[in-house]
Amino acid sequence: MIDIKLISKNNLKLLIDTILNMRKIVIAPKRKSNRLYFSRVQAFADIELDFVQTALSAKSVVFPRNEELFNYIFDGKNVIIKNTEPLKQEVIIFGIKPCDASSFDYMKEFFLNENPDVHFKTHFENTTIISFACKEADDFCFCTSVGGSPTNTKGSDIMLTQINENTYYAEILTEKGKAIYDLAPNLFDINDELDKKRYTAEVPVKFDCSKLTNKLENVFEHPLWLKNSLSCLGCGTCAYACPTCTCFDIQDESNIYGGSRVRIWDTCALGLFTQHASGHNPRSIQSQRWRQRIKHKFEYSKENLGYISCVGCGRCIRLCPGRLNIVDNIISLVEEN
Amino acid sequence: MENKNMYVPYLMTIDEVRLEAPLVKTFKLSFVNEEDRDNFSFKAGQFGEYSVFGEGECTFCIASPPTRKGYIECTFRQAGRVTSALNNCEVGDIIGFRGPYGNTFPIEDWYGKNIVFIAGGIGLPPVRCVIWNALDLRDKFNDIFIIYGARTVDDLVYKNELEQWETMHDVNLFTTVDPGGETPDWKGKIGFVPTILKEVAPKSENSIAIVCGPPIMIKLTLPVLAEQGFSNDAIFTTLENRMKCGIGKCGHCTVGPYYVCKDGPVIKYSELLTLPQEF
């Protein structure tokens, strides 16, 4: 189902007000210390819509940075397990870019395909995604190299494209999107389909992804892994900023009364990630961890799920303190013989 | 099933604690909830996540055989935060267990064959599960060989069971310790596991070999088995990568596209050869 509408900037504000008045949670780009983060907003005025990319993605809505899996209390020698149900809250993500929206499509495939994750499932089912086609891009964007584009609707429930100062072209894409539209249909006007590309950024294709996947199958041992990752500090910033990184750790937090079992983001960039109790480490040096990152995203994900797990948002490049550039790395791999 | 929180563990009571070797203990665990006990089943080779509430979870195989019902056993060496907490647990304490996870040894396919068990150090527990499974169904198998080595006599685990297997006329047991690890009254062999395997030379025809132990032992044992005529499809091992979730999500245990937790831990040597060296 695709339903084409128009909505004015002022009516967009009224739509957000309507949603907020219904006590639903709205997560949108909000400025904090000169950077944009997806945060809970209380008013349309909190939201910033003119930007290329937020500092972090919105994945924490469905895969929180830390999340209680259940909790328990101590009762003498006994243990009583409580609160095994995930928190159920309706969330609207507003102002997300097409690359981030498509990461939800990947995460859905990953978390729900086998041994479905009930926490992810609950959050995902209660999340509606209202995305904005990209007016601008920067040198770090590479969505078009990984199957995306500034107008890609994958993962979005509603996609908005700004066509002039005061008007947005609105595609109602899913049932969830329709439910938002139905909250205030009078705020929208009807319209014909138009070519979104006229109003959006152009992102040049930087590498051939299928060529990369084929190449990766044959380069487990290769001097480029070391050469390309020499400046990697092993800090994990790339993974924490990445909208498709899904690895986690499970830990207990407790006191004398009881505690909770919590899942926390983790990353293959860290040495401890794979270290055995004996001290043996299958990925003992940083270049092996860098190789794992690239091969997982562009080879193993494809093999296991049929999707590559990179959406080209460019955050890992913008934020890397070692100035590692995944695109330059990939190009050098593809071009190497 | 679809909406089950897979991270909620069964509550287990520690019924028995046995000190196997320095820092190595075995727990016998029973289900607190009778319904859990009745619904629980597993097969040889599977593992679980054991947890001390307040400290966290860690991964070990189920060391008891599926032929013995109503309880499970695990054997662990004290190394980090959770195993240290487990080490402090006593009979009657409650711990958590989730599982069983992972694939299994294809034991039914081995009926009528000779089985050669080869284990080193703390690698015996996953093999012990299969050994007792086979011994409980003894008439279904031909010759059974067990070659087990540890660094020192003290480090051999399941000493009581080794004595038991020694006395069984239909089990060929060879225990060994590394040179220098013997005691004055040691009656077993002295030498590394691959050396002893060469010496014992169990026949490879109609035989299956199960190898489990430290990576270096496995690495040196496999060529010896090949020399003796074992095909890569007749050799099985279990991978033991670091794990957190046990169900293919947390990403810790991967070896290339292979998840040790759900595609393994049991793996044929022929399949192991197709994986990158990340274990």
pLDDT tens-place string over residues B221-271 = 999 999 999 999 999 999 989 999 999 999 999 999 999 999 999 999 999
Query: pLDDT value at position B53?
Result: 97
Contact between B6 and A114 using a beta-carbon 8 Å cutoff: no
For chain A, what is the mean pLDDT?
95
Considering only CB atoms, B5 lies closest to which of A69, A72, A78, namely A69
CA dihedral A20, A23, A29, A33 (to 10 degrees): 110
Q: Counting one residue from A and one from B, how many pairs have CB atoms under 8 Å apart?
A: 125
- Chain B window 78-137: which residues touch A at a Cβ cutoff of 8 Å? 79-80, 83, 92-94, 96
Contacts with B257 (C-beta within 8 Å, 6 or more apart), sequence order: A299, A300, A303, A304
| Calpha distance B37→B97 (Å, rounded) | 12
Query: pLDDT value at position B2?
Result: 59
> What are the φ/ψ torsions at residue A97 (nearest 5 degrees)?
-90, 160
Search chain A and give the residue with CA nearest B4.
A118
Query: What Rg, from alpha-carbon coordinates, does chain A have?
Result: 21
The percent of residues in chain A predicted with pLDDT above 70, rounded, is 99
Probe site for chain B from A74, A85, A118 (most B CB atoms < 10 A): A118
Query: pLDDT value at position A100?
Result: 98
Q: Does B241 touch chain A (CB under 8 A)?
A: yes
Assign A2 a pLDDT band (cuts: 50, 70, 90). Answer: confident
Tokens representing A220 are 């487990």
Does residue B1 register a pLDDT over 50?
A: no
Query: Which residues is A23 bridged to in the sheet?
Result: none
d(CA B250, nearest CA chain A) in Å: 5
Fold of B107-238: Rossmann fold (3.40.50)
- Outline where DSSP puts E strands in B129-232: 144-150, 172-177, 189-190, 207-212
* Domain extent at residue A110: 3-335
Does residue B277 register a pLDDT over 90?
A: no
ipTM: 0.93
Task: Specify the amino acid at residue B80.
Answer: G
Query: pLDDT value at position A191?
Result: 86
> What are the φ/ψ torsions at residue A289 (nearest 5 degrees)?
-75, -35
Considering only CB atoms, A115 lies closest to which of B79, B248, B276, namely B248
Q: Give A191-217 pLDDT, tens digit per residue.
A: 888 999 999 999 999 999 999 999 998
Determine contact, residues B134/B48, Cβ cutoff 8 Å. Answer: no
Probe site for chain A from B81, B219, B254 (most A CB atoms < 10 A): B254
Q: Give B69-123 pLDDT, tens digit per residue.
A: 999 999 999 999 999 999 999 999 999 999 999 999 999 999 999 999 999 999 9
| Calpha distance B108→A214 (Å, rounded) | 39
Assign A337 a pLDDT band (cuts: 50, 70, 90). Answer: low
Tokens representing B109 are 């396919």
Does residue A44 register a pLDDT over 90?
A: yes
Query: pLDDT value at position A89?
Result: 94
Chain B residues with beta carbon closer than 8 angstroms to that of A258: 53-54
- Chain B window 44-73: which residues touch A at a Cβ cutoff of 8 Å? 51-58
pTM: 0.94
Q: Give A240-283 pLDDT, tens digit per residue.
A: 999 999 999 999 999 999 999 999 999 999 999 999 998 999 99
CB count in 10 Å sphere of residue B77: 20
Contact between B7 and A250 using a beta-carbon 8 Å cutoff: yes
Query: pLDDT value at position A314?
Result: 97
Three-state DSSP at A127 gives: strand
Tokens representing A302 are 């494809």
Query: pLDDT value at position B215?
Result: 83
Assign B3 a pLDDT band (cuts: 50, 70, 90). Answer: confident
Q: Does B276 touch chain A (CB under 8 A)?
A: yes
| Domain limits, CATH 2.40.30.10, in chain B | 10-101
Assign B278 a pLDDT band (cuts: 50, 70, 90). Answer: confident
d(CA A286, nearest CA chain B) in Å: 13
Determine contact, residues A76/A257, Cβ cutoff 8 Å. Answer: no
Tokens representing B117 are 């068990």
Q: In Å, how far are A154, A170, B125 from A5, measured between CA atoms?
A: 18, 5, 65
Average pLDDT over residues A153-162: 98
Contact between B7 and A296 using a beta-carbon 8 Å cutoff: no
Task: Specify the amino acid at residue B214.
Answer: P
Q: Where are the alpha helices (DSSP H) in A36-117?
A: 98-112
Query: pLDDT value at position A123?
Result: 97
Query: Which residues is B235 bridged to in the sheet?
Result: B209
CB count in 10 Å sphere of residue B143: 15
Q: In Å, how far are A101, A234, B106 from A110, measured between CA atoms?
A: 15, 25, 28
Homologous superfamily of B10-101 in CATH?
Translation factors (2.40.30.10)
Give CA angle at A130 (A163, A122), nearest 5°: 170
| Calpha distance B164→B135 (Å, rounded) | 12
